[in-house]
Structure 1
Amino acid sequence: MRLRSLSFIVLASASLAFGAGLAPGAGFAQTPPPAAPAAPAALSDSLPIPDAPAPKTSKAWLVMDYATGQILAGENVDALVEPASITKVMTSYVIAAEIAAGKIHRNDPVRMTEHAWREGGAGTDGSYSGFEVNQTAPLEQMEIGMVVQSGNDAAIALAEHVAGSEAAFAQLMNAYAKKIGMTRSHFVNPHGLHAEGHVTTAHDLALLGRALIRDFPDAYAYNRIKEFTVGPITQPNRNLLLWRDPSVDGIKTGHTSAAGYCLMTSAKRGDQRLITVVMGDVSENQRAVDSQALLNWGFRFYETHRLYEANRVLASPKVWKGAADLVRVGVASPLLVTAQRGKYSRMKASMELPRSLTAPIAKGQRIGTVKVTLDGKVVAQAPLVALDAVEEGGFFKRLWHDLLMWWES
């Protein structure tokens, strides 16, 4: 992600290009104008972005910018699909959240129950981890077996340890999915084998991958492990891109006859991270080829900028009847935007602020909105909030300001 300070003159409803310098002390580091690009680069930047390399044989796909959550391209992103073993990313999220809450621990002994072994072990058609039936293993090892080997038996054993049963664990999955914003997903089991009503969307899965990376990076790190050994059996991670692209560090594969071949990937190049989802492809290799093409396209044609830092002063509008005459306003969290490479200088910012503000004003109170546009289209916006509280002024100041407000009106 490229960091660069953006500045704009503090005026209500003002609209102007980025890069206009503010007077010293306005809260921004001034950015010198960039050197003029060479002619070939300028010519390239003026060209339209080519269409994304759409997977020809998948049911749904997308490429998302991690920092902003913006979908750069996709098809059927909200269509219901079966997630197959990508379900286990949701299982990992629940486990990590329950560990963070202190309800379970990484060194807990997890038993491979007979139910888990029979339903998800070596005697089934699905992938398995190989932990011995009626024996225990540390929770962290069992989870790595689930993530790397895609062990259905490990997923069931973990679900039973966390919630007592698969059905109870599925309730936790759906509760956490709702918190993440996965509005169209419904989980029935922790492993992803076909079950009635066990559905999601490409968009929801991308949101899940983004949440796991953001909220629980230690749990996410299991996804880059290339192979794992349980007893005498060593199994490789089925994500072929871990071997083909050094920038890829996750996330998860999936396959059933109903779901087809699925792959959710994430890669980081420099400071930029992308997430891709390909659902219902025709082969293990094709899902990797399609995902690689989407990653290359996204990194080539898009970049993410951090426009404004949290709690930096963007404006100081006047306040009537307050103990202070001004209130500092800014954004509560960093404002980022993803746009076509080479178009940063064409972005424009505008602030919408009320014509007058009257105390009291609470810290964090929404004051207005900052919007960023590119070629007339809004590409990012965020609330402007009060960075400080402004209490009411004394009796005589309020009386005096009543008179001034009447005069100005």
Structure 2
Amino acid sequence: IQGVTVQAANDGCIIIAEGMSGSEDNFAVQMTERARQIGLKTSTFVNSTGLPADGQQTTVRELAQLALHLWRDYPDFYRYYAQKDFTWNKISQRNRNPLLAMDIGADGLAVGASEAAGFGIVGSLSHNGTRVIAAMSGLASDKERAEEARKLLDWGVRSFEKTEIFARDEVVGEAQVFGGAKSGVTLKAKGPIDIFLPITNRDKLTARIVYDGPVAAPVEEGQPVGALRVWIGDTLSQETPLFAAESIGVGTLPQRALDAVKELVIGWLR
């Protein structure tokens, strides 16, 4: 994993794929399934390396989403992205991410290039407690890629300020429960919910809880339920996963019958 992360080792990718799934083809199927689970709606994989291949695709937005997921959920592995070089079997190779040598606080993530997509990069840095992730592709050269990524990250740091909208363990809202001992389950995020607002020209901020519901009982505390979507003006700025803040058991027979009637009526009205 360290070699794959630091040096983009294609042979390491293949070894992991074959070791976990028996073949690259099987592993690519699992990669695509995992992509859907974490909210990447269009990314489709046919190999383990990311090298160009028929049927393989992703988007710049989803690469940024993936970067955020890695930083937030896998800190023990994410730290490898900041490693500037790696020696194995007496062979030393450097990390090809140009942002690491710029002394701007960058600690990730990866670069790539292909004839169809041009030069691309997913960069990330931490500045005074602020995490900024930038993704771009279609650049003409590795030099342009490095400079434009630096400019974009610098703009992100200077043009926005972090605002906390929900504190850690604060209840964000409620989701409707079907067939439970309670009609609703309270929801919260894994930590505080922060949003980066433009320092100038702030538009109206709106938020909405979205989930597939009603949620069927029983509900376990910590169970993924939905997400909080936040808009700045007409732009979807952020989506934060929400989890059940409590456990809800299966309701009594009368409670379940009443819920069934409610759903029937709502179904007629839809």
Which residue number in structure 1 is paired with residue 149 of structure 2? 291
The 8 Å contact of residues 267 and 275 in structure 1, kept in 2 or not, is answered as yes
Answer yes or no: is the 8 Å Cα contact 2:172–2:188 preserved in 1: no
Q: Secondary structure at 1:234's aligned position in 2?
A: strand
Relative to its length, the structure with more strand (as a share) is 2
Q: Deviations over 1:304-343 (max 9, x none)?
A: 211222554799xxxxxxxxxxxxx976234433211267
Shift of 1:279: 1.2
Paired position in structure 1 for 2:124? 266
Give me the whole-angstrom Cα distance separating, in 1, the residues matched to 2:2 and 2:143: 23
The CA deviation at 1:197 is 0.6
Instruction: Indicate how the Cα distance of structure 1 residues 245 and 378 shifts in structure 2: closer, same or farther if over 3 A, else same.
Output: same
- Report what 1:3 is aligned to: none
What is the rounded CA distance, in whole Å, between the counterparts of 2:15 and 2:172 in structure 1? 52
**Structure 1 residue 377: deviation in Å?**
8.8
2:188 to 305, 315, 332: 332
CA distance in 2, matches of 1:285, 1:299: 22
1:195–1:299 Cα change, 3 Å? same
**Superposed counterparts of 1:232-311, under 5 Å:** 232-311=90-169
In the alignment, the residues of structure 1 paired with residue 46 and residue 172 of structure 2 have an alpha-carbon distance, to the nearest angstrom, of 47
Please tell me whether the aligned partners of residues 309 and 331 of structure 1 are also in contact (alpha carbons under 8 angstroms).
Answer: no
Structure 1 portions without partners, runs of 5+:
1-142, 316-328, 352-361, 365-369, 392-409
Q: Show the counterpart of 1:135.
A: none
State the superposition RMSD in angstroms.
3.7
Greater relative CO (CA pairs within 8 A, separation 6+)? 1
The match for 1:161 among 5, 13, 19 is 19
Q: Are the aligned partners of 2:171 and 2:188 in contact in 1 as well (CA < 8 Å)?
A: no
Residues 113-172 of structure 1 show CA distances to partners (whole Å, capped at 9, x for unaligned) of xxxxxxxxxxxxxxxxxxxxxxxxxxxxxx222221211111111111111111111111
Deviations 1:333-378 (A, max 9, x none): 344332112678x977899xxxxxxxxxx999xxxxx998878999
Alpha-carbon distance between aligned partners in 1 of 2:46 and 2:102, rounded to the nearest angstrom: 33
How high is the TM-score relative to the length of structure 1? 0.46
TM-score, normalised relative to structure 2: 0.68
Equivalent position SS for 1:145: helix
Alignment partners' CA distance in 2, 1:280 and 1:350: 33
In the alignment, structure 2 segments of 5+ residues that lack a partner are 174-184, 209-218, 222-227, 252-270
How many residues align? The count is 218
Distance 1:259-1:233 versus aligned 2 partners, 3 A rule: farther
Indicate conservation of the 8 Å contact 2:134/2:152, yes or no. Answer: yes
Cα offset for 1:379? 7.0
Query: Cα offset for 1:181?
Result: 1.0
Q: How far did residue 263 of structure 1 move?
A: 0.7
1:188 corresponds to which residue? 46
Q: 1: CA distance between counterparts of 2:48 and 2:206?
A: 45
Structure 1, residues 22-66: CA drift from partner, whole Å, max 9, x if none?
xxxxxxxxxxxxxxxxxxxxxxxxxxxxxxxxxxxxxxxxxxxxx
8 Å CA contact 1:311–1:331 kept in 2: the answer is: no
Aligned counterpart, 2:86: 228
Report the CA distance between 1:217 and its aligned residue: 1.1
Please state if 1:204 is matched with 2:62.
Answer: yes
Deviation at 1:283, TM superposition (A): 1.4
Report the CA distance shift for 1:261/1:363 in structure 2 as closer, same or farther (over 3 A).
closer
Counterpart in 2 of 1:214? 72
Listed one character per residue, the Cα deviations across residues 240-275 of structure 1 (whole Å, up to 9, x for unaligned) are: 110003410000111233332111011111121111
Q: Classify the secondary structure of the residue corresponding to 2:195.
A: strand
Q: Which amino acid aligns with 2:4?
A: M
Pair 371,180 (structure 1): closer, same or farther in 2 beyond 3 Å? closer
Alignment CA distance shift 1:335-1:192 (3 Å): closer
Query: What one-letter code is carried by the residue in structure 2 that aligns with 1:291?
Result: A
**C-alpha contact (below 8 Å) 1:336/1:380 kept by paired residues:** no
Change over 3 Å in CA distance of 1:210–1:375 after alignment to 2: closer
Please say which structure displays the higher CA radius of gyration.
1
Q: Partner of 2:10 in structure 1?
A: 152
Q: Give the drift of 1:182.
A: 0.9
Percent identity, please. Answer: 33
| 8 Å contact kept, 2:206–2:232 | no
Q: Which amino acid letter does the alignment assign opposite residue 188 of structure 2?
A: A
